[in-house]
């Protein structure tokens, strides 16, 4: 006769098996729609380059991965660093980090302002923040182009005020890409910050002032540690799409200031080097994963220290 422990263990195994069966359709969809294409890219990165932009199945090569960081001279086969790829990699990482910091600097006070409004009016402010999401990314990028081009709103206002005599050349520079990414991704920083600040107990801030803490001390010792989950979430939501941005550098960079997304598209398009494009794609994914793990781990340690 089975004991109570054996019956409970058998019931637990049955429950686990049932949960796996119920979740199996979702797991299959995730594998096919998300993980499957990554395996295809990984397989392509180890194949030989085809003659017409495809890959040669059954012929394996490491040339794709080699070309990510190195290049071979076509005359004497000397190996040198792929300066163009490293430059694009550095530009992508640099602009993504600056975009994250800029959106944090702009989004933090914006979220704090919304969280301190009367509850009846907060929905209106959140509604205004979400309005840009109603418009296609390409249209928003062209709207920024109309602001920063030589005859755009910014230069027109500066010349009318007598601040400048000649238009500032912002278009087709890293500054144009930065302005575009900050404009496009700012709501992705504001919303998570607001979600954290809305739950903030403002009596703690009043207690800090009652204990003669300065505004900077209250911000550093009370507000920032309590809203750190929103800072982490917003930073991830901004950094990840910034690192793989394609439309904004293409339109505002003019095809001269490429980022990793543009380099990948170039290899699958005009470059006709699918293994290299696949290798760069996997490299981009690894960079994003490492950055996310590093950021979340440090934030968790810092949060535990404050706790």
CA dihedral (182, 184, 185, 187) positive or negative: positive
CA dihedral (14, 15, 17, 21) positive or negative: positive
CATH of region 83-306, choose from 3.30.1360.40, 1.10.3720.10, 1.20.120.1200, 3.40.710.10: 1.10.3720.10
pLDDT of residue 103: 96
Element (H, E) at 262: helix 260-268
pLDDT of residue 20: 87
d(CA 236, CA 288): 9
CA 6 to chain centre: 49
pLDDT of residue 301: 63
Contacts of 24 (CB under 8 A, 6+ apart): none
List pLDDT tens digits, range 26-84. 888 888 887 888 888 999 999 999 888 788 888 889 999 999 999 888 777 888 888 99
Of 119, 237, 226, the closest CA to residue 184 belongs to: 237
What are the Cα distances from residue 88, in Å, to 51, 74, 103? 26, 22, 22
For the chain, the residue count is: 307
pLDDT of residue 302: 55
d(CA 150, CA 153): 9
Token pair in block for residue 225: 């540690």
Beta-strand (E) ranges in the chain?
A: 47-49, 55-60, 70-72, 79-81
Report whether 243 contacts 92 (CB < 8 A).
Answer: yes
Mean pLDDT by 10 residues, the chain (307 residues): 72 85 87 85 91 85 91 83 91 94 96 90 91 89 92 91 89 94 95 91 86 86 89 90 92 88 91 92 88 73 54
List pLDDT tens digits, range 111-122. 999 999 988 888
pLDDT of residue 304: 55
DSSP type of residue 50:
P
Boundaries of every domain in the chain: 4-81, 83-306
Q: At what angle do helices 174-198 and 119-130 cross, to 10 degrees?
A: 150
How far does the chain reach from its first CA to its final CA, in angstroms?
Answer: 51
- Greatest CA span in the chain, whole angstroms? 95
DSSP type of residue 169:
-
What are the backbone angles phi and psi of residue 152, rounded to the nearest 5°? -80, -175
């Amino acid at each position: 006769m089975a004991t109570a422990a054996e019956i409970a263990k058998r019931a637990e195994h049955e429950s686990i098996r049932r949960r796996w069966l119920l979740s199996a359709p979702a797991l299959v969809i995730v594998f096919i729609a998300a993980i499957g294409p990554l395996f295809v890219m990984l397989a392509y990165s180890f194949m030989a380059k085809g003659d017409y932009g495809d890959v040669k199945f059954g012929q394996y090569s490491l040339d794709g991965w080699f070309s990510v960081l190195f290049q071979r001279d076509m005359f004497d086969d000397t190996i040198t660093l792929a300066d163009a790829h490293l430059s694009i990699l550095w530009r992508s990482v640099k602009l993504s980090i600056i975009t994250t910091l800029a959106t944090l600097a702009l989004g933090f006070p914006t979220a704090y302002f919304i969280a301190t409004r009367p509850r009846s009016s907060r929905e209106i402010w959140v509604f205004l923040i979400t309005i840009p999401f109603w418009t296609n990314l390409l249209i928003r990028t062209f709207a920024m182009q109309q602001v920063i081009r030589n005859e755009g709103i910014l230069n027109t206002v500066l010349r009318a005020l007598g601040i400048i005599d000649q238009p500032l050349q912002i278009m087709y520079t890293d500054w144009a890409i930065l302005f575009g990414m900050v404009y496009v991704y700012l709501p992705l920083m504001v919303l998570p910050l607001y979600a954290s600040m809305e739950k903030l107990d403002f009596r703690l801030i009043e207690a800090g002032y009652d204990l003669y803490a300065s505004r900077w001390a209250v911000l550093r010792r009370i507000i920032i540690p309590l809203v750190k989950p929103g800072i982490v979430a917003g930073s991830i939501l901004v950094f990840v799409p910034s690192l793989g941005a394609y439309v904004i550098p293409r339109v505002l960079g003019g095809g001269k200031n490429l980022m990793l997304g543009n380099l990948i598209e170039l290899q699958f398009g005009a470059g006709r080097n699918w293994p290299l494009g696949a290798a760069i794609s996997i490299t981009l994914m690894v960079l994003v994963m490492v950055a996310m793990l590093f950021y979340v781990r440090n934030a968790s340690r810092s949060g535990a220290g404050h706790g």
